[in-house]
Amino acid sequence: MPDVAPAPAADAPPAATDLVLDLRGVVKRYREGDATRDVLKGADLAMERGLVGALVGRSGAGKSTLLNLVSGIDAPDAGTVAVDGVSLGDLSERERTLFRRRHVGFVFQFYNLVPTLTVAENVRFLLDLDGAPDAGPRARALLEEVELADRADAFPDRLSGGEQQRVAIARALAHDPGLVLADEPTGDLDARTGALILDLLERLTRERGRSLLMVTHDESILQRVDAVYRLADGTVVREAGGR
């Protein structure tokens, strides 16, 4: 396994901060031929621990771009991104990968399950990478929470979209990350299934006292979140959620 060496900075205890997410002056620039375009133009975003937040904005506003910076998949051209008190820019690429794996959970629009692994193997995937001795029982407990214990040995392609997303939620929470990121988690589901998925994602995150930031186009969700982060013209404006 390539990534077994400890990463001191990524494993350091979180700094004394109430913020699970702290973006300051973040600039992200894309090149298009000879031209460049700033998608994020000095964006600030602060999210307290334990919050459920929605990131909204029109298509192309830069929501996925911002999530990629938070997850450390991509780096900003200027500004800083801190997750749980750890400034991602201070980490090496390898440390960032480990940090992401241990401290962040992801739910995607199209589930992104590994097709060659069973449902249970998908859920315990990150735990196995980290050599967690209790990966089996933890995966089983999570599958019970998302009411899919009876499908543990099935492969993802046998499951409906909503079921696959429930597996993805179990996977995202398996390593107990401080922050869960979801990019349009209901975007591929019908309205009723989407609502159930959101209920589940929100409830399981809140029960654990963890934080959730989700990208959504669904304005009805804004009623149930603690904070709304509206992205427009490259900056973020925070509004109160309806909760």
Ligand X SMILES: Nc1ncnc2c1ncn2[C@@H]1O[C@H](COP(=O)(O)OP(=O)(O)OP(=O)(O)O)[C@@H](O)[C@H]1O
Q: How far is the CB of 60 from ligand X (least distance, A)?
A: 4
**Closest CA relative to residue 234, chosen from 48, 92, 78:** 78
Is residue 64 close enough to count as binding Mg ion by CB under 5 A?
A: yes
Edge-first strand listing for the sheet containing 86-87: 35-48, 19-32, 78-83, 86-87
Q: Which residues contact 205 (CB under 8 A, 6 or more apart)?
A: 52, 173, 180, 211, 212
Site for ligand X, residues 123 to 162, rule: CB under 6 A: none
Q: How far is the CB of 193 from Mg ion (least distance, A)?
A: 20
Measured from the CB atom, the residue of 173 and 213 that comes closer to ligand X is: 213
| From the list Mg ion, ligand X, none, partner contacted by residue 30 (C-beta under 5 to 8 A by kind) | ligand X
Q: How far is the CB of 147 from ligand X (least distance, A)?
A: 29
Q: Which residue is nearest to Mg ion (CB)?
A: 64
Is residue 23 close enough to count as binding ligand X by CB under 6 A?
A: no
Name the one residue in this structure whose structure tokens are 């992205």. 231
| From the list ligand X, Mg ion, none, partner contacted by residue 185 (C-beta under 5 to 8 A by kind) | none
| 109 and 205 Cβ atoms separated by less than 8 Å | no
Measured from the CB atom, the residue of 59 and 116 that comes closer to ligand X is: 59
Measured from the CB atom, the residue of 58 and 94 that comes closer to Mg ion is: 58
Give the span between the Cα atoms of 215 and 109, in whole angstroms.
Answer: 10
DSSP 22-35: EEEEEEEEEEETTE
Measured from the CB atom, the residue of 81 and 127 that comes closer to ligand X is: 81
Helices (H), 117-160: 119-129, 135-145
Is residue 177 close enough to count as binding ligand X by CB under 6 A?
A: no
Q: How far is the CB of 57 from Mg ion (least distance, A)?
A: 9
Name the one residue in this structure whose structure tokens are 């492969």. 155
Contact pattern for ligand X over residues 48 through 67, marking x by CB under 6 A = ---------x-xxxxxxx--
| From the list Mg ion, ligand X, none, partner contacted by residue 39 (C-beta under 5 to 8 A by kind) | ligand X
Is residue 97 close enough to count as binding Mg ion by CB under 5 A?
A: no
Give the span between the Cα atoms of 203 and 221, in whole angstroms.
Answer: 14
Q: C-alpha distances in angstroms, 46 versus 17, 18, 58?
A: 11, 10, 21
Q: Which residues bind Mg ion (CB under 5 A)?
A: 63-64
Q: Which residues bind ligand X (CB under 6 A)?
A: 30, 39, 57, 59-65
